Structure 1
Amino acid sequence: MADDPRKGPRRRGQVLEQAILRAALDELAEVGYHGLTIDRVAARAHTNKTAVYRRWPSRAALAVAAYLHVATDEELPDTGDLRTDVLALLRGAAQRIGSPQGGILHVLAAEMGNEPDLVRTIRDQVIDTGLTRWLTVLGRAVARGQARPEALSPRIATVAVDLLRHEYLVRGVTTITDNTVIEIVDAVYLPLVRA
């Protein structure tokens, strides 16, 4: 019993959630989604699996929450200029793609075909979270008169990040250059949304 990693000071709330998400990220990086188990995450986080299941009802929900934990912790840009804000958003996304989080996204994307729960969770959480961020930035630009109101649709708002994902997931590019980011923004996104 003395060697039980779950024994020690009791953690609750945010502290425990952070430990579980960090453990899930580490497990995803080491064994991928296929090897991810709630038991291993719980042991790594020094807690029990009930504490994990209480917060995330499935392996898919935990994996996506772990990815989102590191992927959306940045503040939304609000410089007053649409181009500057969109470049900042897209550069942040490109940077994440080249980071360990990008590797986790790639692992999750590779498993989507075999896991209906994972597909649903990614659609409901990752895509919706990204959509909200893009609609917020674009909505601010509409309010300033820098973008046309008709551009505030999900497909138009996220086309830049969709093109970035295409580079990564379909074309297999592991490092997105700044020239690619600028081209997507200047040649595709801004002409599409500007007033």
Structure 2
Amino acid sequence: MGVVVSERRAEGTRRRGAALENAITDAAWEVLVEQGYNGFTYEAVAARAGTSKPVLYRRWPQREDLLIATLTRYWRPLDIPDTGSLRQDALTLLRTVNAERARAVILMRIQLADYFRETGTNFSDLRSRLRPADQTPPFATLVDRAIQRGELTDVPRPERVVNLPFDLVRHDMLMTMGAVPDEAIVEIVDSVWLPLLSHEGEPHSTTIEQLS
């Protein structure tokens, strides 16, 4: 056993640059999945990566720095579809989220519960840190393109309405602890989101007198 560990450490010392950092964040991800945030320590990650704690400290002085680097590596930007149809764009994007993000979303909610308590942050805060500052939210991009194509009227829409499909899919992931059935994705788009977007583009006929 000692020989194996020594060989891994020797191998680790020969890695440089991106290769070393990728090996460390890969090991860190494995530790996070298996042990949660409480087990996400420099000791555990260094041992799994076959390197030393000083190597980690030089790159990520704080444990949170290492955590963000690890999550960023596994929270890759989504490809934004451009099929020429808002409905098909939305379905394609949600299916991609369902296939590529379900496990990560569930992991971050469960394994990072102690991190959120310790830092006083939440999932939304973390997602903002993982998304590039200048990146437009995916569904906002889809809506903008639909307006340019003439599928939607160009009126102000609340951010909550625009991003609703992702919020509903994420909710279902967390409620069922797994991927969302495709029929639920179609229902979210066809029965909830698209009608709501169209309604947001229409004049509101309800008056104060009607509400009285």
With the length of structure 1 as denominator, give the TM-score of the two structures.
0.77
CA distance in 1, matches of 2:130, 2:156: 21
Question: Does residue 136 of structure 1 match 2:141?
Answer: yes
Alignment of 1:68-147 (within 5 A): 68-96=72-100, 98-99=102-103, 101-108=104-111, 110-111=113-114, 113-116=116-119, 119=122, 122-126=126-130, 132-147=137-152
Aligned residue identity for 2:108: L
In structure 2, the partner of 1:155 is: 160
Q: Is the Cα contact below 8 Å between 2:29 and 2:71 reproduced in 1?
A: yes
Within the candidate set 181, 184, 198, 1:180 is matched to 184
Please identify the structure whose Cα radius of gyration is greater.
2
Alignment of 1:5-24 (within 5 A): 5-8=8-11, 9-12=14-17, 14-24=18-28
Give the gaps of 5 or more residues in structure 1: none
Question: Does residue 38 of structure 1 match 2:35?
Answer: no
CA distance in 2, matches of 1:55, 1:132: 29
Q: How big is each residue's C-alpha offset from its partner over 1:63-99, in whole Å with a ceiling of 9 and x where there is no partner?
A: 3443342332542212222111111111122223554
Q: How big is each residue's C-alpha offset from its partner over 1:103-162, in whole Å with a ceiling of 9 and x where there is no partner?
A: 422324533552226538515324778963332333222322223444565322211111
Q: Compared with structure 1, are the counterparts of its residues 111 and 82 closer, same or farther at alpha carbon in structure 2 (3 Å cutoff)?
A: farther
Q: Compared with structure 1, are the counterparts of its residues 143 and 123 closer, same or farther at alpha carbon in structure 2 (3 Å cutoff)?
A: same
Q: Compared with structure 1, are the counterparts of its residues 145 and 38 closer, same or farther at alpha carbon in structure 2 (3 Å cutoff)?
A: farther
Q: How big is each residue's C-alpha offset from its partner over 1:9-57, in whole Å with a ceiling of 9 and x where there is no partner?
A: 2320x32232122111111111112211122213322333344345445
Identity of aligned residues (%): 33
The two structures, once aligned, show a CA RMSD in angstroms of 3.2
Give the gaps of 5 or more residues in structure 2: 202-212
